[in-house]
Structure 1
Amino acid sequence: MSWRPQYRSSKFRNVYGKVASREHCFDGVPITKNVHDNHFCAVNARFLAIVTESAGGGSFLVIPLEQTGRIEPNYPKVCGHQGNVLDIKWNPFIENIIASCSEDTTVRIWEIPEGGLKRNMTEAVLELYGHSRRVGLVEWHPTTNNILFSAGYDYKVLIWNLDIGEPVKMIDCHTDVILCMSFNTDGSLLATTCKDKKLRVVEPRSGRVLQEASCKNHRVNRVVFLGSTKRLLTTGVSRWNTRQIALWDQEDLSMPLIEEEIDGLSGLLFPFYDADTHMLYLAGKGDGNIRYYEIGSEKPYLSYLMEFRSPAPQKGLGVMPKHGLDVSACEVFRFYKLITLKGLIEPISMIVPRRSETYQEDIYPMTPGTEPALTPDEWLSGMNRDPILMSLKEGYKRTSKVVFKAPVREKKSVVVNGIDLLENVPPRTENELLRVFFRQQDEIRRLKDELSQKDIRIRQLQLELKNLRNSPKNN
């Protein structure tokens, strides 16, 4: 790619990254050392959640945003999972509801109390069982309340209706591990990248693959829908093992519109797209740089703007939703950068330099707000609706009226020797497998004995009934 400055008329060509001062960072966080290619971080206007290193299961911290500075080592955690936590995502419509998925094959929904955690949280409001192997990704539907997507290492995407706490659809078109999921603006299409080197555009309710690309020259890792432009952007690796991005038409994946090589580093490239400003941010895992571009509707489509540089490598990045930004400082994007070596979470604000202190309407158009456009039943019946927009000038402090209500379900259980098999992690070692096997053998023996005793009792009752019928009194 040509790195010559391109002098073009753009209000974003002078955007710069501003790192928060040390007292506004989050220090002393035991960030997970897991090598799974996720961000391990989720942010909304009230809380910051970070997956942490922990022994005996998986856990994550939930910290109120105003509680900056050093985090105590004994700070309360969300620690109900029995395997490593692989992904976490905040509900876009209810700010204290977070979904997590784990190596223990479950997806769990947690309700964070007002003001944050005061003690360790081990009980989830909802536990979702359906995957047969570990679950690597969770994603909330962008316009519908209580619809959650989860992708597991069983190569399946399950669609959960949290109103009933059950999976309602399954997308079963992948032949290997799903690496990334991304929705278009109204959530009517789902784009996925997969370890089988294919990019797919799927109709989520039917599971039908609308478009599929076999990426031979561009091994895809991550994908993002570019708002309502009907375009996709993928990051991956070229045949010469250089990091690369490609732009696609969502209605024709036979060939990318453009391919651009970025550099020769080996870390994964995470793409972030801001539909309001049409800016694309590329952040490399393991390096400290964030490049940003402006996306246009005509060739060359991608216009390089600038690069934020930092010597500290990032493990992952959380992104603040638009309604949580500081509009008075002309902030158009905010990252929360995970620096594992320092145990530090560092906010980075992307700022448009403006002299005026008044509200800048040209850089803050109407943006998706905190109100859902559809109910789960409406979406499942086939309805699509664009997100309900809000103005950041007046409404960005408004709280959502949506409340999460966990479905009341009868708890299914299979208790063997005092251990509930459905509540426990599937056996991972041969010894665990043998223990479960012998428990099941004991349970089968006990049930057989119980059955034979009931057979004897049934025969006795049949004889008594026969005697009563044949007794002289009845004649």
Structure 2
Amino acid sequence: MSRFKVSKFRNTEARPSRREAWISGIRAGTNPSCGNHIKSSCSLIAFNSDRPGMLGIVPLESQGDDKRHVTYLGCHSDMVTDLDFSPFDDFLLATGSADRMVKLWRLPAPGQELPLGPGLVLGPEDTQVEVLQFHPTVDGVLVSVAGTAVKVWDAAKQQPLTELVAHGDLVQGAVWSQDGALVGTTCKDKQLRIFDPRAKPKASQSTQAHENSKDGRLAWTGTQEHLVSTGFNQMREREVKLWDTRHFSSALTSLTLDTSPGSSGAPGDLGRGGSARKAQAHCG
């Protein structure tokens, strides 16, 4: 009997949209990193291309004709490891890279020429930038990860406001809570940590997340109390765990998915108030 579980999704089949809605001419990259390879605002889509340091930019909506044309932005001297659009500005894009820099780009409206250089540069860091994310409620503030360093930046001043300390190994993820009060991090030392950056640079809480150190992900629900992590157990099976920050010593519940070499992305839409209850009911 095989010790590996067979995925219940093995026979699922995707249904593509109408061909008229397709975006053609995509040259997407496959470079591994802890960050995102595609992001969208309400106006633009940005994605990692097959050329290191270059992003593809495409309008979210077609501009008069049925085709949406991809343009390419050369933004770093090495591969782009993460990217994020500002929640306050559809055309403000932050990029992090293996070249150890964070750059902010003012993108034009569709049909106009892309910028030749960034509007702001943060860094260089001591090692490659792994993850970055804009603050959800304060304009011009973002968090970045490089090695064991997690920094909260004031982009306008081009200076870090604080550095979140105590990570024992490579930090794999850093995510703002939806109200922007807390930062959750996942780390190769298997610890899940919660920070209040305004109060102190050290973690206010920490616990072991997953038994395997491979590539953890994290997402907050619609409240400060619940968050969801993904990772691997000792059998290299993918796991999803639901956490309550008020009872942080162990997960509320967990779900084992399957055995796969690929990581599980953190759930993308956790903004609804009932998400934690639904996840617990599904996992339990």
Pick the TM interval, shorter chain: 0.7 to 0.9
1:145 aligned residue (124, 139, 149): 139
Shift of 1:215: 3.7
Shift of 1:218: 6.0
- Alpha-carbon distance in 1 for matches of 2:268, 2:68: 31
RMSD (Å), alpha carbons: 2.6
Q: Residue type matched to 1:45 in 2? A: C
Paired residues for 1:129-208 under 5 Å: 129-153=123-147, 155-205=148-198, 206-208=200-202
Q: 1:301 to 1:94 in 2, by over 3 A?
A: same
- Alpha-carbon distance in 1 for matches of 2:38, 2:210: 32
- How many matched pairs? 268
- Determine what percentage of the aligned residue pairs are the same residue: 24
Paired residues for 1:281-430 under 5 Å: 295-296=276-277, 301-303=280-282
Shift of 1:217: 3.7
Q: 1:128 to 1:103 in 2, by over 3 A?
A: same
Name the residue aligned to 2:33: 36
Q: Residue type matched to 1:144 in 2? A: V
Q: 1:22 to 1:303 in 2, by over 3 A?
A: same
Structure scoring higher RCO (CA < 8 A, sep ≥ 6) equals 1
Name the residue aligned to 2:11: none
Q: Does 1:96 align with 2:77?
A: no
Shift of 1:19: 4.0
Name the residue aligned to 1:430: none
Kindly name which structure, 1 or 2, has the bigger radius of gyration based on alpha carbons: 1
Q: Residue type matched to 1:174 in 2? A: H
Uncovered stretches (5+) of structure 2, i.e. residues with no partner = 9-13
What are the superposed Cα offsets for residues 326-361 of structure 1, whole Å, 9 maximum, x if unpaired?
xxxxxxxxxxxxxxxxxxxxxxxxxxxxxxxxxxxx
Moved over 6 A (4+): none
- Alpha-carbon distance in 2 for matches of 1:101, 1:70: 26
State the TM-score, normalized to the length of structure 2: 0.85
What are the superposed Cα offsets for residues 184-228 of structure 1, whole Å, 9 maximum, x if unpaired?
221111110001111101112322211111246465711111111
SS of the equivalent of 1:34 reads: coil
SS of the equivalent of 2:89 reads: coil
- Alpha-carbon distance in 1 for matches of 2:225, 2:127: 33
Q: Residue type matched to 1:157 in 2? A: V
Shift of 1:181: 1.6
1:27 aligned residue (24, 39, 45): 24
Name the residue aligned to 1:237: 232
Shift of 1:100: 0.2
- Alpha-carbon distance in 1 for matches of 2:133, 2:43: 19
Q: Residue type matched to 1:61 in 2? A: G
SS of the equivalent of 2:138 reads: coil
Q: Residue type matched to 2:117 in 1? A: E
Uncovered stretches (5+) of structure 1, i.e. residues with no partner = 5-16, 280-293, 305-475
Q: Residue type matched to 1:140 in 2? A: F
State the TM-score, normalized to the length of structure 1: 0.52
